[in-house]
A and B are shown apart, each in its own frame.
Chain A
Amino acid sequence: MKQVLLLVVYACAACGQVNYTRLLEAAREPRNWLTYNGGYASHHYSGLSQINAGNVKRLGIDWVFQARSLEKFETTPLVVDGVMYLTEAPNNVIALDPTNGRLFWKYEHKLPDVTYPCCGKVNRGVAILDGVIFHGTHDAKLLALDAKTGRKKWEVQVFDYKQGYSLTHAPLVLKDKVIVGVAGGELGIRGFIAAYDAKTGKELWRFKVIPEPGEPGNETWGGDSWKHGGGSIWVTGSYDPELNLTYWGTGNPGPDWNPTARPGDNLYTDSVVALDADTGKLKWHFQFTPHDGWDWDAVQVPVLADVTVRGRLRKTMLWANRNGFFYTLDRATGEFLSGKEFVKQTWASGLDDRGRPLKIPGKEPNRQGSQIWPGVQGGTNWYAPSFSPRTGLFYVTAWDDYHGTYFAWDQAYEQGKWFAGGGVKAPTPPTNREAILTRGKEHGYAAVRALDAATGKRVWDYPMRDMSESGLLTTASDLLFSGNREGHFFALDAKTGKLLWSKYLGGQVIASPITFSVNGKQYVSVAAGTSLFTFTLGQLAGN
């Protein structure tokens, strides 16, 4: 009995609560996965190395969590001191034992009959701070749940969901704040990013992605087009504590495919915005695709890394964009350092010396259809890239030789209705539709692609037969984990791209893998199909 008591005391001393200091120093405790993007710099990199190139062949399935939901399973879990927190579509939050998959609690959020997510009732995860789990919902609420009980502590209505707004991404917590943005870029919303007091839910600041009349940037919208300008937020941003800047990628302008309806650059859509974390004030912005007509959201994970560019160590941001170009930016100032296409693209002849694309005339969507590379899902999309400080390489899930034919038409705005102003025809569907795959060259292909972080030059490539919507994970043992639409989950050598291990899970991976350790044993987890699979070394004969 005494021993048991001692064990309990020890366990609690080791765990404590996840406070801001622990989040700042998350890299020091690789046994946990404390934020959606694997740390404020969003490297999707783990310091764990028990699973390595020599033993990864012994990786086997340890346990499986089966979601009670048929929706696309886009969750990336957190693991905190022996508890895993994940979401189940549409808006359930679950705490389970990461060593065996057994549930501790489940919070089920009751949604109205009608909500307005554009493309599936998905959710991507949660955040944790001081014993509280934060979660955004399809009816545009931000919830705070007690991490021990799953009981709701508070909720706030972020916006009126009936106007097409929803929350789908995992919140970002920093200092005493919870930061979220709103989705709805196909429903004529006006995107924003807002910070809330983590204790009370009180709104602290709000940054409007679409500036209103009188605000800088509104002049980049012809007429009243700013009113339904889109600029949604649906993937978690990053944070640089030294600069006190939080970085977020913004979504497409609306209507998606009819740019003539909104003359101008359409700021701050398709951009990365650097906001003062205390005030939400814009420090700088960089727009990847001004006056976009192809639905190329800049909703990618901002990867923050210090990289030597042309002989000088810089605080950079690495960004493989949906528009087909890879960018290296100075993250203190937003200065464009270098850029290069990383997949086949036919809409721009290049980038100018400030990183602005040199658009080829006549490529924008029209009534008859305009065929462009890349297709609507872009050269990559929201699936998390990875940066390994060991290899210095930037890794991305790329869609290459992939095209679409883009149509434009006039469309009037109606509240709660689709507001896209056009459409796309393409041989490759944006998400897995069929169980059968018989591909031709017209379909393109996906690859895990390793790029030189300073120049965007390709270092190695792991091509796949089908497309992939999987995020990436690298480890201190130079493994890279990823999955794909075919239903495979696999490990590559992060230095060379060589395949080291693969397991067929039978359902597409539309999430990022994570790794963690409990009682000295390393695990790897990934959502595939409608289940979350967790792997360890040496389990189950036959794997």
Chain B
Amino acid sequence: MNIRVGFLLIPITMALGQESNSTLVNPFNSEADIARGEQTFQSQCASCHGRDGRGGNAGPDLSTGTFKRTSSDEGLFQIINKGVPGTVMPAFPLNPGPAWQVVAYIRSLSIGRRNQGGAGNAAKGEKVFAAQKCAACHDASAPDLDGIGTRRTVAEIRESIMNPQADVPSQWWRFKAKTRDGRSLAGLRLNEDTYSIQYRDGGGNLRSVLRSQLASFEMDRTSPMPSTKDKLSATEIDDLLAYLVARGVR
């Protein structure tokens, strides 16, 4: 073990023949390392990031395979060891081996990786996507589907397609309001605080309104997305899922 720990202190990317990207590659990446990494994760990380790594209370979802503050294994290693300033993520001064094993485990949680190998045909799925005119909304006012296969499991995407009303996150709630001077407002709420609401109206304009100016305010918590339940065959849905899982993944 000590030999391996010493090994990581050398810039091993050169040794491994990698080019321009000079970040360290995780040297603890075996199945056994992942298993040990899981043990450490459950003991040291799960309180905040959840037992399944999909986010808890304090910590974000770590299962997407993409991360806000880094894209490399070395970056994850550094975050574990140094923490994230300005957040509640403290430094976890693990020894290098266990820290790399946690990185390996976090990578293994990647939904994108687990979503591979479904039954559908992505090329056929793209045609289904076009025929259903999904892009009409999803290119503008509905959730961005690029990389959706790294953020959501196949089962979750299937549920969204079949039953769009099941779980509509609050950032997709639309509102209708009347101002005290009689104007009608409607749009998608983008941001808010105690005094104001920021929104995008039907024409795509970015607006703010003060709550004190509103005479009435109504939140629509439903999704405008139609269910495909009775419109698509099981095969078409599998194809669509295969397309979505692959979409925008670079």
Question: Is A420 on the interface with B (CB-CB < 8 A)?
Answer: yes
Q: Is B114 an interface residue (CB 8 A)?
A: no
Segment at the interface with B among A190-198, A266-274, A435-443: A435-443
Instruction: Choose the segment among A116-124, A128-136, A205-213, A319-327 that binds chain B (4+ C-beta atoms closer than 8 Å).
Output: A116-124
B91 at the interface (CB under 8 A from A): yes
What is the 8 Å Cβ interface bit string for chain B, positions 88-110, against chain A (1 contact, 0 not)?
Answer: 11111100000000000000000
Contacting A at CB under 8 A, from B31-72, are 42-44, 46-48, 50-51, 55-58, 60
How far does the Cβ of A534 sit from chain B's closest Cβ, in whole Å? 22
B205 CB within 8 Å of chain A: no
Question: Which B residues between 169 and 192 are near A, CB-CB below 8 angstroms?
Answer: 170-171, 173, 189-192
* Bound complex: CA A429 to CA B189 (Å): 20
In the bound assembly, the distance between CA atoms of A358 and B5 in angstroms comes to 53
The answer on a CB contact under 8 Å between A423 and B56 is yes
Contacts of B55 in A (CB 8 A): 425
The answer to whether A488 touches B85 (Cβ under 8 A) is no
Q: Which residues of B contact A418 (CB under 8 A)?
A: 43-44, 47, 92
Given contacts A118-B90, A404-B57, contact A488 B194 (CB under 8 A): yes
| Residues in A neighbouring B48, C-beta threshold 8 A | 423-424
A121 to B84 Cα, complex, angstroms: 10
A252 shortest CB reach to chain B, Å: 13
- With beta carbons under 8 angstroms apart, the residue of B46, B58, B90, B191 that contacts A437 is B191
Interface assignment of A416: CB less than 8 Å from any CB of chain B: yes
Q: Taking the complex as formed, is A464 at the interface, i.e. its CB lies under 8 A from any CB of chain B? A: yes
Look across to chain A and name the residue whose beta carbon is closest to the beta carbon of B191: A436
| Contact present for A464 and B194 (CB under 8 Å) | yes
Interface residues of A in 394-444 (CB under 8 A from B): 404, 407, 409, 411, 416-418, 420, 422-426, 428-431, 433, 435-440, 443
We find that the number of chain A residues with CB closer than 8 angstroms to chain B is 52
Residues of A within 8 A of B83 (CB): 120-121
Check A70–B86 contact: CB distance below 8 A: yes
The 0/1 profile, CB within 8 Å of B marked 1, for residues 19-43 of chain A is: 0000000000000000000000000
Assess the B88–A120 pair: CB atoms within 8 A.
yes
CB distance from B114 to the nearest CB of A (A): 21
Q: Mark B210-244, 1 if CB is under 8 A from A, else 0.
A: 00000000000100000000000000000000000
Q: Is A335 an interface position by the 8 A CB rule?
A: no
Pick the contact of B173: A121, A440, A463, A465 (CB < 8 A). Answer: A440
Bitwise interface map of A from 500 to 538 toward B, beta carbon under 8 Å scored 1, else 0: 001000000000000000000000000000100000000
Q: Is the CB of B193 within 8 A of A488?
A: yes
Q: Does the CB pair B195–A117 fall under 8 Å?
A: no
B87 within 8 A of A: yes
Distance to closest chain B CB from A447 (angstroms): 10
Q: Across the interface, name the chain A residue whose C-beta is closest to B170.
A: A440
User: What residues of chain B lie closer than 8 Å to A119, measured between beta carbons?
Assistant: 58, 88, 90
Q: Which of B43, B56, B90 touches A425 (beta carbons < 8 Å)? A: B56
Tell me, in angstroms, the Cα distance from A438 to B46 when the chains sit together: 26
Which residues of the partner chain B approach A262 to less than 8 Å between Cβ atoms? none
CB pair B43–A429 under 8 Å, yes or no, is no
A364 within 8 A of B: no
Measured between beta carbons, the chain B residues less than 8 angstroms from A420 are: 47
* Shortest Cβ distance from residue A13 to the other chain B in the assembled complex, whole angstroms: 44
Contact A425:B58 (CB < 8 A) given known A70-B86, A440-B170: no
Among the listed A114, A424, A437, which residue makes an inter-chain contact with B192, where contact means beta carbons less than 8 Å apart? A437
Closest to A446 in B: B194
- A416 adjacent to B93 (CB under 8 Å): yes
Partner of A438, one of B50, B60, B190: B190
Interface size grouping (class) on chain B: 20 to 34
Query: A202: shortest Cβ distance to chain B, in Å?
Result: 31
> What is the CA–CA distance of A378 and B56 in the complex, to the nearest angstrom?
16
Residues of A close to B89: CB separation below 8 A: 120
CA distance A429 to B87 in the complex (A): 11
Chain A residues with Cβ below 8 Å from B90 are 116-121
User: Cβ of A425 and Cβ of B50 under 8 Å apart?
Assistant: yes
Nearest CB in chain B: distance from A444 CB, A: 13
A295 and B194 CA atoms in complex are apart in Å by: 29
Closest B residue to A466 using CB positions = B193
Q: Are B87 and A120 in contact (CB-based, < 8 A)?
A: yes
Asked whether, in the complex, the Cβ of A71 is within 8 Å of the Cβ of B85, the reply is yes
Q: List chain A residues, Cβ under 8 A from B46.
A: 409, 423
Q: What residue of chain B has the Cβ atom nearest to residue A431's Cβ?
A: B88
CB distance from B219 to the nearest CB of A (A): 9
Residue from A69, A256, A404, A502 in contact with B85 in the complex, judged by beta carbons closer than 8 Å? A69
CB closest chain-A residue, reference B94: A417
Q: Which residues of A contact B190 (CB under 8 A)?
A: 436, 438
Query: Do A424 and B56 touch (CB < 8 A)?
Result: yes
Whether B58 contacts A431 by the Cβ 8 Å rule is: yes
Q: Are A423's CB and B51's CB within 8 A?
A: yes
Asked if A139 is at the interface of the complex by the 8 Å CB criterion, the answer is: no
Query: Whose C-beta in chain B lies nearest to the C-beta of A438?
Result: B171
State whether A114 touches B93 (Cβ < 8 A): yes
Quick one: which of A376, A407, A411 contacts B51, CB cutoff 8 A? A407
Residues of A within 8 A of B92 (CB): 418
Residue of B nearest to A426 (CB): B57
- A60 an interface residue at 8 Å Cβ cutoff? no
Q: Is A141 part of the binding interface, using a Cβ–Cβ cutoff of 8 Å?
A: no
Interface string of A371-390 (1 = CB under 8 A from B): 00001100000000000000
A74 to chain B, nearest CB (A): 11
User: Cβ of B60: which chain A residues have Cβ within 8 Å of it?
Assistant: 433
Separation of A438 and B193 alpha carbons in the complex (Å): 9
Q: How far is the CA of A423 from the CA of B195 in the complex (A)?
A: 34
Does A449 count as interface, using CB distance less than 8 angstroms?
A: no
In the assembly, what is the distance between CA of A425 and CA of B56, in Å?
4
10 nearest interchain CB pairs? A423-B47, A440-B170, A70-B85, A119-B88, A486-B193, A114-B93, A438-B171, A426-B57, A424-B57, A420-B47
* Sample of 5 further A-B pairs with CB below 8 A, known A425-B55, A429-B58: A424-B56, A436-B191, A438-B191, A465-B193, A466-B193
7 intermolecular pairs with C-beta atoms under 8 Å apart: A256-B47, A423-B56, A428-B57, A429-B58, A440-B221, A466-B193, A486-B193
